[in-house]
Amino acid sequence: MSIMANKKAQYGAPTGSYGESLIPLVLILILGIFIAGKLGYIQLNSLPVVGSLFPAPYINVIVIGHASPQLEYYLKSENYRVAGINYMGYVPQEAVVPGTLNKFDIIILQGSTICDRTARRTITDRVKAGGKLMVIGDACTRVNDDPNALGWDIGIGLLGDVMPVTYGGVLMHEATGQSRIYAEGKFRIIAPDHPMFNGIKNSQFSGTLTNVYPTANANVLAYIETYMGKPTSPATFGILESQGFLSGKTIYFAFDPGTQTGREMLQNTLLYLKGAKG
């Protein structure tokens, strides 16, 4: 008996010290995951119960050209930041070369009619690789090496490949008629169940429109019904999106969404674009 007692005393009975030693390691691991989630290195916002403690992953947005004052005001707002929209400023089209757009989720074209062929191809390649594009008005409808050329489908394998519209008043890439019009009337939604229009209703419209026509891969989302004092009012295409691409997506606005449809619809559009395909 004394020999057995001595052996127990020598080696000791199980005390749970191994399990206790793991507790600090587990706590450190949990703390590390929590901090990584808070900083956005890992996505935990979709977890049940605790997901609300973590921020949504940021959507990196860049403007090529120059955003209108109201559009930029929305992009910089606290509401957009809380929604996970990270506005990273604007760049001139001359700075757009292969590789410069890889870190951006959404590219917005506004404020510059000229985009050289290098910028056009870089933007197009990004969309074809899964990037998302928003085009406003007549942005990027001209090239710097041909003053007579007009439209997005200038060149082969360039912007025309990913645009849901063609430029109005153009024949064989040269202007033949009026491509911009002033309209007063109604903004009318065709696709009320589309995520872009969550909480949005038909409304009054007064402003400048770019005249466009849908391409074969276009889905018309909204139009502008203008008042001309006639029983049948003419309508102009307002918002269209591409469809049929494998991963990228383009949404086209014939007007400035910053000045016409307000903060909520622009935010809806950016959040929709981030996860949209085709």
Residue 34's pLDDT is what? 66
Q: pLDDT digit string (tens) for 192-248?
A: 999 999 999 999 998 888 989 999 989 999 999 876 555 445 678 999 999 876 679
Residue 247's pLDDT is what? 77
Residue 225's pLDDT is what? 86
- List the chain domain ranges: 2-53, 59-275
Domain 59-275, what fold?
Rossmann fold (3.40.50)
Q: Sort residue 99 into left (φ over 0), alpha (ψ -120 to 50) or beta.
A: left
Buried-state track 92-118, b at ≥16 Cβ within 10 A, e below 16: ebeebeeeebeebbbbbbbbbebbbee
Whether 241 and 250 have beta carbons less than 8 Å apart is answered as yes
Q: pLDDT digit string (tens) for 65-93?
A: 999 999 999 999 999 998 999 999 999 99
- If one compares 190 and 169, the residue with the highest pLDDT of the two is 190
- If one compares 18 and 81, the residue with the highest pLDDT of the two is 81
Residue 231's pLDDT is what? 47
State if pTM tops 0.85.
no
Average pLDDT over residues 141-158: 86
Residue 252's pLDDT is what? 97
Q: Coil, helix or strand for 19?
A: helix
